[in-house]
Amino acid sequence: MRANLEAVHPVLGASDVAELVQFYQCLGFAVVFQDAPTNPKYVAVKRDGVQLHIQWADKGQWAYPIDRPAFRFVVNDVDAIYTEFVESGAVRADTSQGSPWAAPADTPWGTREFHLRDPSQNSLQFYCPL
């Protein structure tokens, strides 16, 4: 069986998560997830079929090459797509660049995922809910 890509959730860095959430609420987005009831560091907002993720980032992280977008892809089978990427040569020792999710693993936030970087250093995160 071939794994299917089902969605992509861009992750936007923010030095002030609450400020960015408020801005997106003004655009008609609603909060669908946040990691803490007060002072969240990770929030998902959704409008219609579009979901954006907002993650706190220290201002010191905004320097090249760290200041790169992260894209989260919802997949139906994390392990199958990981195997596909390993077999194609897309996943190698240098593509995870030290991520704790260099290979599929269950996360504390209720997903199974793995991360890699593309040649432009964009973070690609493939996951599915547990």
DSSP assignments along 86-118, one per residue: HHHT-S-TTTSTT-TTSS-EE-TTSEEEEEEE-
Range of the domain at 94: 5-129
Number of structural domains in the chain? 1
Which CATH number goes with the domain that contains 115?
3.10.180.10
pTM: 0.68
Measured CA to CA, the distance from residue 20 to residue 9 in angstroms comes to 16
State pLDDT tens for residues 39-87. 999 999 999 988 999 999 877 766 656 667 788 889 999 999 999 899 9
